[in-house]
Amino acid sequence: MVRRLLASSISSLVSNARKPGFWLIVVLFIAISIPYYYETLHPPFVQRVFNYLGLDRLSFERTLYIVPIILSGFLFGSKGAYIASTVALCCMVPRAVIISPHTADALFESGTVFLVGILVGFTFTSLQKERRRRMQVDALNQTALVVSQSLELDPVLKSSIDSVVEVMKVDVAQVFLVDEGAGDLTLAAYRGVSREFAQGVDRLKIGEGLNGLVAQTGAPTYVENASADPRLTRTVLKEDRIGSMLIVPLKSKDKVMGTLCVSMRGYRKFNQDEVELLTNIGNQVGVAIENVRLYQQQRGFTEQLRASEERYRELFENANDGIWVHDLEGNIIAANKASEKLTGYTLDEMAKTDKLNVSVFLNGEGLNLAKEIRRRLLANVPLTQPYEQRIVRGDGTEAILMMTTNLVTEDGKPVAFQHIARDVTEEKRMKENLHFYLQQITRTQEEERKRIARELHDDTMQYLVVLARQLDELAYSSKLMSQEEKAKLEELRQQTTGIMEGVRRLSHDLRPATLDRLGLLPALEWLASQVPSGISIEVKAYGTERRLPAEVELVLFRIAQEALSNVRRHSQATEAEVKVEFEDKKTRITVKDNGKGFILPEIMSDLVKAGRLGLAGMQERIQLLNGSLKIESEPGRGTTVTVEAPL
């Protein structure tokens, strides 16, 4: 410890000997010490002055040693004051011990001067610390001011480099940034080196060299001679004669953003205060870099949002569907061009000062539907969309729209409703006409079947019955016929009976009389009885059995008839079930079998393409009643056909 202090003191003396103030202090010590030891140098009048003032000359001269001590403190800091105090003590003690007649007083005075010198050193130490603290605060404030003047990365780094060079008084400063994607460091800014030097260290792996080590560990690093350090892998450092180097991490929220490197082209000992100062500057620069990146991300998001808004505005304006937005009171606040044709009101009329209210579009039924939609959206109740709405155009005509309505919120609060609508008036009318035509065709077809069935039963069947009886009478009344002729006549009678059964079955298929006389359930039981005996079919009824409208009974019967026909012809089933459910507002029939099943197409309209015309016919028939048809089937797991008809 003593050797280290002695070496430090000698080193300070050698370095300070080059300064003019050092020799001034030496001259002061000599000028005080010579008269102190040689009394003859004092003229008699000087002694008379001391006697007149009541001062002791030796005490005064000892006190004069405080002058070079204080001067040393001013010029060289606390170490200078300590060394000067020691030198002053060495100058005073020999005379106090050997020559002075009052040794105790002389030693006391000498010790007092030494202690005063030590106090001066402490004082200068405190002043130096306070000065360094203020310098650090000023430097940090200056750096903070510099890095906060821009939100662009390059100006921030350039300003940071300039500030670091000015504050730290260094020859070279460099900033490396972490590239997380590549896993390395890139030289982002530098000062004090050539372009060739910068190109030589423009990219370092994390962990490579001193900068890579600091980026990896997050701890500051100091080297006395970087050119000779074996950890440095780039030859440009040796060629540029880089000496002392201090590297600190750039941190933001404990995340290393990069490194800040300062260096000299000679030797310089960076003290702990300078390390702390540069570390704090590095933290400020790291936070500034993080803020710049966040700002750039936010700006990029803002630009994307603006571009998205522009694209949405363009789509909004040029959409083929009518789009309008109205507030919670129903006042239209925005609309596109297509909504003009849809509503019959111009954009100017919609955007006038007393804004157009959507209630002018709606009649009683449409207004009630709009209120229900509004209630469901505000209550976050599930809503089937799109839905059909009828409006009254500006010219008084009615339009049918397919609409989708969405709630517009701001900060989680509902502020408006957005509607997207398409005019389906003509399409709806065409569908209604097609539905009407199909209904009329089906009705005509059933009437024709009924007529043919009646004619078969009333005319053809009666003729066949008469023919069969005549054959019977001829066979039993004629005694002149041979046995062969009688056998031939019996064969004709049996053929006639077979034809009668065929006509009777055809008549029932065309229009079962049971359906007209007894209703749906007995007709289904009769239908199940006609299926070949290889398939067991059970008919079950649920609810209160009752007669349905003739058209409903006929459609449900035809669908069940087609379903059982498919069971008989295609399913290879051994069992089937027909379930009839009578409810207040609808009737449901389910036909289920244990057959081989099949793969259903994705949409019902593909049934025709798949060659399943019977199933497609079921779909068309139930649509005549505004009912629904559901088919479930999987290979090896049978088929279930469910049909519902509203009443």
Structure tokens at 416: 């408006």
Residue 607: predicted pLDDT: 63
Model confidence at 18: pLDDT above 80: no
Do residues 265 and 349 share a domain? no
Strands of 575-582's sheet, edge to edge?
536-542, 575-582, 586-593, 639-646, 628-633
Q: Where are the alpha helices (DSSP H) in 325-402?
A: 338-343, 347-350, 364-378
In a domain, 145, yes or no: no
CATH code of the domain containing 281 = 3.30.450.40
Whole-angstrom distance, CA of residue 196 vs CA of residue 202: 10
Residue 236: predicted pLDDT: 64
- Spell out the residues 6+ positions from residue 333 whose beta carbon is closer than 8 angstroms to its own: 325, 326, 327, 355, 416
Do residues 494 and 411 share a domain? no
In a domain, 305, yes or no: no
Model confidence at 144: pLDDT above 60: no
In a domain, 372, yes or no: yes
Decide which of 476, 508, 540 is a domain's last residue.
508
Do residues 463 and 602 share a domain? no
Q: Where are the alpha helices (DSSP H) in 95-176?
A: 103-147, 153-168
**In the chain, pLDDT over 90 holds for what percent of residues?**
3
Q: Is the dihedral of CA 290, 231, 207, 217 positive or negative?
A: negative
CATH code of the domain containing 590 = 3.30.565.10
Confidence of residue 2 (pLDDT cuts 50, 70, 90): very low
In a domain, 579, yes or no: yes
Confidence of residue 368 (pLDDT cuts 50, 70, 90): confident
Model confidence at 138: pLDDT above 60: no
Do residues 156 and 284 share a domain? yes
In a domain, 307, yes or no: no
Tell me which of 310-314, 365-369, 458-462, 548-552 is least confident: 310-314
Residue 456: predicted pLDDT: 72
* Mean per-residue pLDDT of the chain: 77
Whole-angstrom distance, CA of residue 499 vs CA of residue 519: 28
Tell me which of 56-65, 319-328, 596-605, 629-638 is least confident: 56-65
Whole-angstrom distance, CA of residue 285 vs CA of residue 308: 34
Do residues 438 and 415 share a domain? no
In a domain, 306, yes or no: no
Burial class (CB in 10 A: 0-12, 13-18, 19+), 446: middle
- Name the pairing type of β-strands 536-542 and 575-582: parallel
- List, for residues 213-267, the tens digit of each pLDDT value: 888 888 888 888 877 777 776 666 666 778 888 888 988 878 888 898 888 888 8
In a domain, 624, yes or no: yes
pTM surpassing 0.85?
Answer: no
Residue 579: predicted pLDDT: 93
Do residues 493 and 561 share a domain? no
Report, as an integer, the average pLDDT of 276-299: 78
Do residues 473 and 494 share a domain? yes
Number of domains comprising the chain: 5
Confidence of residue 93 (pLDDT cuts 50, 70, 90): confident
The residue that leads in pLDDT, 590 or 73, is: 590
- Name the pairing type of β-strands 413-423 and 398-410: antiparallel
Decide which of 486, 508, 530 is a domain's last residue.
508
Contact assessment for residue 320 and residue 314, using Cβ atoms and an 8 Å cutoff: no
Do residues 388 and 435 share a domain? no
Do residues 338 and 235 share a domain? no
- List, for residues 391-443, the tens digit of each pLDDT value: 888 888 888 888 888 888 888 888 888 888 888 877 777 766 665 666 666 67
In a domain, 308, yes or no: no
Q: Is the dihedral of CA 476, 479, 484, 488 positive or negative?
A: negative
Structure tokens at 551: 């058209």
Do residues 292 and 410 share a domain? no
Contact assessment for residue 312 and residue 290, using Cβ atoms and an 8 Å cutoff: no
Whole-angstrom distance, CA of residue 520 vs CA of residue 298: 70
Tell me which of 152-161, 195-204, 331-340, 621-630 is least confident: 152-161
Do residues 107 and 222 share a domain? no
- Domain limits at 364? 320-420
Report helix, strand or coil for 545: coil
Do residues 437 and 488 share a domain? yes
